[in-house]
Amino acid sequence: MRAVQYDQFGSVPSIVDLPAPVPPAHGVVVRVAATGVCRSDWHAWKGHDDSVRLPHVPGHEFAGVVTAVGADVARVVVGSRVTAPFVFACGTCDQCRAGATQVCSRQQQPGFTLAGSYAESLVVPHADVNVIALPDEVGFVEAAALGCRFGTAYHALHARARVEAGEWVAVFGCGGVGLSAVAVAVAAGARVVASDISHAALERAAALGAEAVPMDDLAVDRVRAVTGGGADVALDAFGSRVTSAASVASLRPRGRHVQVGLLLDDEAAPVIPMGRVIADELELLGSHGISVGEYAAMIDDVVAGRLRPQESLGRTIAFDDLPDALAAMDRPAVTAGMTVAVF
């Protein structure tokens, strides 16, 4: 089996031959048809996540076809078109029993604690819990985007922020998850203002229905002006001290900040004005992935055309381009939107 692997953090990955995976009794093997190239993969590659052990195969957004099924799997069969959230849940802990599989206390993650989807095949454990069947109307490229960035935006806005039609949503950072958040918020009937340092990213956000605001020292003032006093909901979709603080500062009283972008390494401790959080009764919410139970509604929206994850895509690449695509995330993006590798 061909796979992308790195032996040192920050070194350019190489394509290697590895043994084909075998499913555990409760798991399945999926032949990968498409996988996303996500900023979280970059964090793992840079050594920002202490769950990663070297040598390592990255990748956590994927879709494909089941090729092998463990003896104890009841509802997944060989040949099924599938995807899965990037949190592989155990299905039995208190969080899983409550339906919050995205915060499973015994979770595993492809591309972090497990070998990931930058490979021709990968294992999905506890398949009866984690595997999501794909209708024919949803292509593999679009489905690969659902597992992390689009699904993360969907969960952040609906389950965490409780967004309502007519509210103002501010999105800071218009990469894959930020553009997905714009699309999800617009589909929910919200009004959206988006901020980024990239002109190309702002153009994509505007095309999706957002008011575009450059990310500079005046960004918060501009957002508050556009929204008539502050956003009802604000997301840091990038993950930095600057964008996190700007998101909180852009809120109106009783607004909800959702932290979606990872805050790691030097960005791990943003300064939040807790006095204002108290005085204006702001909500500070974390958001992590998407639960298995939310997939049905999200996929129904995709099939019905209410959500179009393909509009958040930037480019598709080949499997052989994955090592360079991961290393290129050290530099500013040339194109806006998600990058997905097609096998």
Residue 176: pLDDT over 80: yes
Shared domain for 7 and 65, answered yes or no, is yes
Name the more confident of 184 and 269: 184
pLDDT in tens, 291-313: 999 999 999 999 999 999 888 88
Confidence of residue 266 (pLDDT cuts 50, 70, 90): confident
Residue 314: pLDDT over 70: yes
Mean predicted lDDT score pLDDT of the chain: 95
Within-domain flag for 154: no
Shared domain for 26 and 143, answered yes or no, is yes
* Residue 4 host element (H or E): strand 2-5
Rounded Cα distance between 66 and 83, Å, is 10
Rounded Cα distance between 287 and 330, Å, is 25
Shared domain for 271 and 330, answered yes or no, is no
Shared domain for 244 and 143, answered yes or no, is no
Rounded Cα distance between 51 and 88, Å, is 14
SS (H, E, C) 119-181: ECEEEECCHHHHCEECCCCCCHHHHHHHHHHHHHHHHHHHHHCCCCCCCEEEEECCCHHHHHH
**For residues 137-149, average pLDDT:** 91
* Residue 246 host element (H or E): helix 241-249
pLDDT over 90 for what percent of the chain?
A: 89
Question: Chain centroid to CA 244: how far?
Answer: 17
Residue span of the structural domain in which 281 resides = 162-286
Residue 115 contacts by C-beta under 8 Å, 6 or more apart in sequence?
A: 3, 21, 56, 57, 122, 123
Residue 332: pLDDT over 90: no
Residue 334: pLDDT over 70: no
Residue 94: its pLDDT value, please? 98
Residue 336: its pLDDT value, please? 77
**For residues 4-26, average pLDDT:** 97
In the chain, the number of structural domains is: 2
> Which of 250, 270, 286 is the last residue before a domain boundary?
286
CATH of the domain at 297: 3.90.180.10
**For residues 50-75, average pLDDT:** 97
Shared domain for 8 and 142, answered yes or no, is yes
Shared domain for 25 and 120, answered yes or no, is yes
Shared domain for 329 and 227, answered yes or no, is no
